[in-house]
Structure 1
């Protein structure tokens, strides 16, 4: 692949380079922040019990799980941009620096929340919990049966991210000389098609038979364990995010010519809409009260890649529109995006605490929703200020001192 000079030597990372909420509002790109804020609010909504969901949000709640797929696209783009830009500049990847930066970014808050659940059982949001070593090794998403351990199950997606962090730098280095447009397109197609085929096979061999001989609830647990959680089934969003980064870095004229902002927004919006329609087709599960995350065959096979492709196109359009929308003063969006990781780690546990403090009967409708939002943001802001921000500052200090030494 012929390289070009990229527009910025350091891609914007809405999570990685902030040391205060004030600087977050001025240094972040609004397009990714809009998607990140939307993603975390959707994830928080889907984990909120029905009785505490306002009527205006009741129709949106069943689709809240798609927030995770938005996160995957964003992560694929942001990490892919960083690594490919580094390879373009240095013809190599500094593995030590990359993994240290990721460790300082991810581990402190995660380990604190995990320790809280492990050593203070009353904080757990479910009666059972997977073994701590599975969280520590980021293998919790393999064979994860929520019936056997429901506490802190949201960490499954963090495990997917960690596997991505481990593999992508190696892949970028290995492909740096042979990554032509055709080769990258074929690789993306191969990953997507392989994922579709694998989910099809798992549905036919595992989920379908379970739905026939077990209750739908038990079939749902099989679906989560075998189809929804494993890394090898959730590569669509990460793949499309990395592909977007590659196109924008190495073939910007191609992107500008065929996918100007409003064309990309239109096509992306249609892809997302089509995926949501597919997700809403319940088939034999229409009469059940199972969450829409339990996808029949069409949704499990086609819906995931279609949705991820649409989000990637929308993200690309928003990045192109940054000179326009960047003038908008939306500090609330930047604030939510800044707190998104802390919110993700704590929101399920916070609702459990709300029940302990206020009582389940007092967490109904709009008032319960307001209590939930207020306490979630209070806990997340505390975790961010006391843990995330301090470790980011420490990381930057250590990295700058290391650079001066070298």
Structure 2
């Protein structure tokens, strides 16, 4: 007979609250709260493994078989109605608020969640969980549902194999699989943390920890509640939620702490002890009952709120949490509970089938129409979009024809290197210098034994990391390098790629006494914002982005910034000061219909070309003093050279006055 255990719902409540607060990112005095809240998902995995395994093992013990049709029907009733409600409700918001690329990603994530594979989709698209950009993906959180759904498929198969071929060896088999999964997790997280995070193979041990506990209860009955062990488990769970950080290696060895803690609470918490009574209290148990709806609704609500709110303050976050609770309760009462327990199976399956058909049609339409790009035409003219896309596509061909013997200028950087390289190439004196443009975007750069190694974080970044490693290790290129241009996001502040100045120092040591130029950034938005999104939502030009943008670094000497290289001789090129002296009213916001940024920080290639030309033209004297004009040619000088070379029978020209 099934016995309801309210303390399990209380444990669910703690987990979902932790996850919601983690994704809300409340800040106090510059510190983000609840940074270990992601552990709530691991607690969910253990609970899910325990409950599902107990259902199947109990049925197997009682009847000798498993009614798979009944099992999957129950899973469908539990999971699909609320999920479909969230998807259908968010579709109009997605169409009105998301850019074409974002809408395409949204559609693909929905399609993959319907196929129980959104974890695989997000891994394949290099969605770095916890990064600001992923907070704008409305269905990123469905990765955990897919992991559980894959468990629902895999675990019954394991049961069948063990029962048919191994008879009474269920426990050794589960222990073996769980151990292999744990070892795989610990090994994988060292070289590919995202794969360890998203893969069902590296998460299976968490679910199987719940399975082992369920097996014990089914075979030997529930263990007598023990206050000390229940309290120890509760402390392990809460301690993980509080003490784990963004940089904690996860999932990995330390993840065993909340997993063990959850198992202890499940095994030993009961109404006889304080932990059990706390978790079984009415507020906790009711929250746990609504936990699935809370989990489903919170992420899209936060994502769309962030899309429309330039300043997502603590007040906004609190309001978003309140809206999440309200919507989740309504969804639970109106959708989840009635359809889960309805006896009208025909109504349920017609509802689910029609929902699948509607969602599939919407996904296919969005994918086939590439996210409906015509929606942008009003704020970003199609011709401008085409020209910018054409320019950006030229990056990978910039190094195709490197001539031997000529001095080299290296343009190096992170994701900023692409458009900076495209723009700078227009002004580098090509008669005197060859250009090598490389990006270490998502490359794991390490200098060892006088060799630079740069394996990619994911295979999609091989297009950057492979040529980067090839060219940066080419001593024949380095030996004739005269200048190194660094183009990086916040070069003295950005905590990602902290090796950049060590790398430049190493390159300089192998060069012909190369000059180093560090290019500053232009105005930028907050990390979770998008200029093109603002333009689209407000039906405005790029001036709205400049009004909301800030200039990094603001009001702080460069020497005080954390990554300032005091032992490296370099010239800092402050492009905002050179262009408009920090006065937004004088600063350009677009060029030929292309906004200065389309995301939150990357200058567009078309705009950069105009910006650099403007600086070279108007600040020639300043740049000559800094030595930059030894490598770059101002537009008027380039035009004069082209005009002179195009004259028939043009003889040598003289710079002397007549």
Of 373, 376, 380, 2:324 maps to 376
Of 127, 137, 140, 1:146 maps to 127
Q: Does 1:333 align with 2:284?
A: yes
Deviation at 1:326, TM superposition (A): 6.0
- What CA distance in whole angstroms lies between the structure 1 residues aligned with 2:339 and 2:139? 23
Contact 2:138 2:303 in 1 (8 A): no
Deviation at 1:130, TM superposition (A): 5.8
In structure 1, the partner of 2:255 is 304
- What CA distance in whole angstroms lies between the structure 2 residues aligned with 1:339 and 1:57? 30
Q: Does 1:34 align with 2:10?
A: yes
Q: Does 1:129 align with 2:106?
A: yes
Q: Does 1:10 align with 2:26?
A: no
Q: Counterparts in 2 of 1:231-250, with a 5 A limit?
A: 231-250=200-219
Q: Does 1:191 align with 2:177?
A: yes
Deviation at 1:117, TM superposition (A): 4.2
Contact 2:120 2:199 in 1 (8 A): yes
Q: Counterparts in 2 of 1:66-81, with a 5 A limit?
A: 66-81=39-54
In structure 1, the partner of 2:145 is 158
Secondary structure of the corresponding residue to residue 133 of structure 1: helix
Secondary structure of the corresponding residue to residue 118 of structure 2: coil
- What CA distance in whole angstroms lies between the structure 2 residues aligned with 1:293 and 1:179? 44
Deviation at 1:319, TM superposition (A): 4.3
Of 257, 268, 293, 1:342 maps to 293
Of 338, 361, 370, 1:390 maps to 338
Unaligned runs of 5+ in 1: 1-8, 13-28, 208-222, 281-291, 400-406
In structure 2, the partner of 1:45 is 21
User: Whose radius of gyration is greater, 1 or 2?
Assistant: 2
- Cα distance 1:276–1:389, how it changes in 2: closer, same or farther (>3 A)? closer
Which protein, 1 or 2, shows the higher relative CO under an 8 Å CA cutoff with sep ≥ 6?
A: 1
- What CA distance in whole angstroms lies between the structure 2 residues aligned with 1:138 and 1:340? 20
Q: Deviations over 1:380-406 (max 9, x none)?
A: 112222211221232x4449xxxxxxx
Deviation at 1:55, TM superposition (A): 7.1
Deviation at 1:343, TM superposition (A): 1.0
- What CA distance in whole angstroms lies between the structure 1 residues aligned with 2:92 and 2:313? 30
- Cα distance 1:188–1:328, how it changes in 2: closer, same or farther (>3 A)? closer
- What CA distance in whole angstroms lies between the structure 2 residues aligned with 1:378 and 1:57? 28
Q: How many residues align?
A: 331
- What CA distance in whole angstroms lies between the structure 2 residues aligned with 1:236 and 1:95? 23
- Cα distance 1:105–1:273, how it changes in 2: closer, same or farther (>3 A)? closer
Contact 1:269 1:310 in 2 (8 A): yes
In structure 1, the partner of 2:196 is 227
Q: Which has the higher strand share?
A: 2
Q: TM-score, normalised by structure 1?
A: 0.70
- Cα distance 1:104–1:124, how it changes in 2: closer, same or farther (>3 A)? farther
- Cα distance 1:302–1:117, how it changes in 2: closer, same or farther (>3 A)? same
- Cα distance 1:271–1:338, how it changes in 2: closer, same or farther (>3 A)? closer
In structure 2, the partner of 1:110 is 83
Secondary structure of the corresponding residue to residue 235 of structure 1: helix
- Cα distance 1:244–1:329, how it changes in 2: closer, same or farther (>3 A)? closer
- What CA distance in whole angstroms lies between the structure 2 residues aligned with 1:191 and 1:248? 20
Deviation at 1:227, TM superposition (A): 1.4
- What CA distance in whole angstroms lies between the structure 2 residues aligned with 1:370 and 1:327? 25
- What CA distance in whole angstroms lies between the structure 2 residues aligned with 1:47 and 1:343? 13
In structure 2, the partner of 1:220 is none
Contact 2:231 2:275 in 1 (8 A): no
Q: Does 1:313 align with 2:264?
A: yes
Q: TM-score, normalised by structure 2?
A: 0.45
Q: Does 1:262 align with 2:240?
A: no
In structure 1, the partner of 2:430 is none
Q: Does 1:95 align with 2:76?
A: no
- What CA distance in whole angstroms lies between the structure 2 residues aligned with 1:368 and 1:33? 28
Deviation at 1:156, TM superposition (A): 0.2
Q: Deviations over 1:344-395 (max 9, x none)?
A: 11102222454577x454x533x3343122111111112222211221232x
- What CA distance in whole angstroms lies between the structure 1 residues aligned with 2:275 and 2:296? 33
- Cα distance 1:139–1:328, how it changes in 2: closer, same or farther (>3 A)? closer
Deviation at 1:271, TM superposition (A): 5.3
Secondary structure of the corresponding residue to residue 32 of structure 1: helix
Contact 2:7 2:280 in 1 (8 A): no
